[in-house]
Chain A
């Protein structure tokens, strides 16, 4: 329990740090970004939007940073992330709530799948070192060195076309209303297959490698020798003795590298025009939509923190040692 509370405290601290960072980033911009934006839009911005911009960038009043900071927190707790320029006058929170489910489905499911498949292959590669499985490493390394988006583009080129099963982009067929019904769900799944495959292929190698290395390290431990000496079946030694212990560092590695992975997978959404957060970020960049960008950064960070917390809970179940002191 103590372990768990420590982790929660840490994540709260990190969330605070991320939000504070988010507060300061626009304030570090040299010059007057709002003026630059106003000139860029050449009078297309309404006075209300300009005002919200000045609040956002914190250059509206001569009040000190501290009171702005407090105001910023108050706004956050009210769920107010400002208004989006790109989709003016839709609030950022509304834009985000439309797209977050798409991303959760695509990136969340594929990341977990990739971890599962990679770990299983890694167990195999570590246990049967010297067999054909050694060939997995160079191949998957090559694929993981390719940027996600490039792989996606090539996949679109090779696999999609007028009469192909795979659609070349979008989240579901145009005209379908998002709902949990028999028309929308199959179409959504069909549209997500290719992006999911792209993410899977380029992210699985990291898990294979780290699990293989852990298996190799673990399999020369004394308790493995003892298990062998007891005459236990090979399978049982591999899975319940070696893999079980090798899994622990891999789970904590999974939690730690989530931040890296999530960033990369967003590019896939851009290439496939998948209506998730990553694509939203891309549109926000094109329109210099700072409130939306900040909102996206915040929501990504918080999702990663929640995912980390979940991984910690899994760890708690896997490793009895962390439970002992409670």
Chain B
């Protein structure tokens, strides 16, 4: 539903920055292993995702009520007994949310895995083999890229009566691999002619070995970010499908909650507790996954990190903005802050006098 959050493809036109994410001397690997986690965004995202996965596993056991069971309190606001209020049938919203987590995480990850496997097979093959195969596979992935995925998913699942979680996950997985395949192909193309791959080929390694042991490890970051992006898309799609009411209503997920809330005009009856928790749960999960993706991007291309404090006060009390890629230039001040001799002041705006000719 959103556009892919990762911009790895756009980040690497120079192709150099991707070289070897896992490189390092053997002695230091122990320290480098958790380097990724030292990024604040990555750590936050992974912790939140971990909580969601935990809830997906234990959710149905710790839910205080049966999500479908009717109760006597109809449309009650949050209280000590019902933490997130109740529905028009007296069902406990908090329990529905907890039980629904499993379905959301399951569909998200299954679709992500299917799409990732497809994209690796198609993207890497296209990039590595080249020629006619490449043209055919690229055309295929471009076609899938341009065809609007969500309407297609909606129509396919609505035709299959009462599509369950497996069907939904597979349909999403089979329709959303194209973006990753494209990115992987571009990256494989740039890796293919690297010296170490040529060396492997020269020593007579087989193609499959080169692909699995030489190329794939260096594509890890791209694959991971593609996986995370697909999970976001799959979660949003599943919830959308449930919200418009075309998937099986036997299982609970957050979209089902919203479907019933919308159907019962929850907001018109100001039952905000029926809507808000599920929406926030989606938003927080999505944000966590996006954070992981930002962190992967930054890991691959450190330039993208949000710069910390960039305004620095000099000794003479001026403020200078430090920027990566630029050399900060201080205007010449009469008081030298280095041991160099002060250069006679020429002009405040530019040190070298250049005579400009006005265009005629």
Binding site for B on A (CB under 8 A): 10-11, 13-14, 17-18, 21, 25-26, 29, 33, 36, 129-131, 134, 137-138, 141-142, 144-150, 153-154, 156-157, 202-203, 205-206, 209-210, 213-214, 216-217, 219-220, 224-225, 228, 231, 249-250, 253, 256-264, 266-267, 270-271, 281-282, 285-286, 288, 290, 293-294, 296-297, 300-301, 304-305, 308
Contact = CB atoms under 8 A, between A and B. Distances in A.
A139 B289 CA distance: 14
Q: Which secondary structure dominates chain B's binding surface?
A: helix
B27 interface: no
Interface stretch (B99-107, B197-205, B298-306): B298-306
Interface in B236-265: 236, 239-240, 243-246, 258, 262
Nearest to B354: A231
A137 B289 CA distance: 14
Interface size of B as a range: 35 or more
B155 A231 contact: no
B286 A17 contact: no
B283 A146 contact: yes
Contact of A14 (B13, B146, B258): B146
Given A257-B4, A263-B151, A217 B14 contact: yes
B155 A297 contact: yes
A323 to B, nearest CB: 20
B148 A213 contact: no
A304 B179 CA distance: 16
Interface string B142-160: 1101111111101110111
Interface stretch (B49-57, B61-69, B215-223, B318-326): B318-326
A271 B258 CA distance: 12
Given A14-B147, A130-B309, A213-B297, A147 B239 contact: yes
A93 B310 CA distance: 58
A24 B13 CA distance: 39
B11 A260 contact: no
B154 A304 contact: no
B324 A33 contact: no
Nearest to B278: A150
Interface of B: 1-5, 7, 10-11, 13-14, 139, 142-143, 145-152, 154-156, 158-161, 179, 182, 232-233, 236, 239-240, 243-246, 258, 262, 267, 270, 272, 275-276, 278-279, 282-287, 289-291, 294, 297, 301, 303-304, 306-311, 321-326, 349-350, 352, 354
Contacts of B349: 231
B283 A219 contact: no
Given A18-B147, A259-B147, A153 B240 contact: no
B147 to A, nearest CB: 5
Given A137-B306, A220-B324, A231-B354, A262 B148 contact: yes
Contacts of B10: 210, 213-214, 217, 249-250, 253
